[in-house]
Chain A
């Protein structure tokens, strides 16, 4: 089993989950409480990765952000290199790709909180921020945890985007899922088998954890 690939996948997934926790909560808050008429457009954009094949995102990162196009040239002049073949590139792609897996459960959690409690907190003089941290967040913890775990797990399971833009560099972009693919192509079925089994068990445990601890949040997530 290729431990450097395992470590890389874990590092990527932890980073994605952490970023999405910070980015996902404000988006979820806005999606839940905004009354803007065109809100549904933003909701549709957030949900896009649920529908889009990973190849679409891969295509835009590789070609649209490639050095032959304006956006890519701009990026290159800022960072000295383009997104593909770097850990940062995978990170950016994964954050986009897992966005709905964080935002939707968190928004469902927020949505499940009784509005009267929030309004009571406001009328008692607590600021919006303080209400968020002391009322809303504790009451929707299950949704937040679900969003965190799902974005972590979804990143571990990512394959298409990484295959398209990763360039398979050991320790940088060769993730577990890519490693299994490589081992299968090289007909190293023993190694592929072990890694696949570990991932299977891991995924099962993650989902069992979610269903076991936050049934309510996941149920809500399905309904929305």
Chain B
């Protein structure tokens, strides 16, 4: 009995101490990362979830170039809007819907006239490679009764969800598929629902369909841009930004050709091109 108790105690001690050791090693490693030169300090960025991968690349390239450190939070634009309205300490907000930065400007929460149209998002019909769905028919393919669940972002507050619903309505399939829609809290979750196979098809951001995680898993069909209003995406500097200088440097940085090329590679239409009517 005693030996059992000692063993139990030893097991407990190991289990309890192991995380502590891991944590202390991580803590020891982080000051080194923070001690590199940072001319504009930490820039805290709130980014719409369609930007997840491209923002990490943008941030990495910015950090390498300037020595500043970017901290990225990704999530739904609607959630960020309401967090910022209630005092969230972000420096820059990359919204998937340009109306949100404009709203923040009009509320005096963003620096006046700082909203910058950085890209125009596009939506695609996406399905896994192992699905037999013929997506080349476009949204009409969703009429197939084998499609039990269709994942889109929540149209109530997610710009990509609004575009998806609009495209479904305009192509006349909305009534037929309404009962089969499942709503992701943001476009990343909508992607996750269909990527995990729990939904059979999804209307996702092109940027996510092109991301490494989804590219290998499935195929997509572009949805005609005549079917939905352009998803104009705006970035804005917060008026209460803890690091306004860093925020401005970052917002200027993303206008350089390397970054716009990166956005282009992730399937975002660039404002200048879109204005010229060019389609890739």
List the interface of chain B (C-beta within 8 A of A).
76, 78-79, 81-82, 85, 148-149, 151, 154, 156-157, 181-185, 192-193, 196-199
CB–CB A185/B197 < 8 A: no
CA A168 to CA B186, docked complex, whole Å: 11
Interface 9-mer from A79-87, A110-118, A199-207: A79-87
A223: CB under 8 A from chain B? no
Residues of chain A contacted by B154 (CB below 8 angstroms)? 168, 182, 185
From residue B78, how far is it (CB to closest CB) to chain A in Å?
Answer: 4
Bound complex: CA A110 to CA B81 (Å): 51
CB within 8 Å for A85 and B76 given contacts A182-B157, A184-B82: no
CB pair A68 B197 closer than 8 Å:
yes
CB <8 Å contact, B157 and A81 = no
Please determine whether B149 and A85 come into contact, CB atoms closer than 8 angstroms: yes
Looking at the assembled complex, report how far the CB atom of A63 sits from the nearest CB atom of chain B, in whole angstroms. 6
Option from A62, A163, A167, A187 in Cβ contact (under 8 Å) with B85: A187
The one of B79, B182, B198 in contact with A185, judged by C-beta atoms closer than 8 angstroms, is B79
- The residues of A that contact B85 with a CB separation of less than 8 Å are 187
Give 3 nearest A-B pairs by CB, closest first. Answer: A167-B182, A168-B183, A185-B78
* Partner pick for B182 among A68, A163, A169, A187, CB 8 A cutoff: A169
Residue ranges of A at the interface with B (Cβ–Cβ < 8 Å): 62-63, 66-68, 72, 81-82, 84-85, 163, 167-169, 181-182, 184-187
CA of A84 to CA of B71, assembled, Å: 32
Residues of B within 8 A of A181 (CB): 185
> Given contacts A163-B185, A169-B182, is CB(A62)–CB(B196) below 8 Å?
yes
Are A185 and B196 in contact (CB-based, < 8 A)? no
Give A142 Cβ to nearest chain B Cβ, in Å.
34
A169 and B85 CA atoms in complex are apart in Å by 27
Cβ–Cβ contact A66 & B157, under 8 A: no
Q: How far is the CB of B194 from chain A (nearest CB, A)?
A: 11
CB distance from A91 to the nearest CB of B (A): 17
Task: Write the chain B residue with the least CB distance to A181.
Answer: B185
* Distance (whole angstroms) from the CB of A66 to the closest CB of chain B: 5
User: Shortest CB–CB separation between residue B63 and chain A, in angstroms?
Assistant: 29
Given known A-B contacts A167-B182, A168-B182, A168-B185, A185 and B157 have beta carbons under 8 A apart: yes
A182-B156, A185-B76, A187-B78 known; A167+B196 contact, CB < 8 A: no
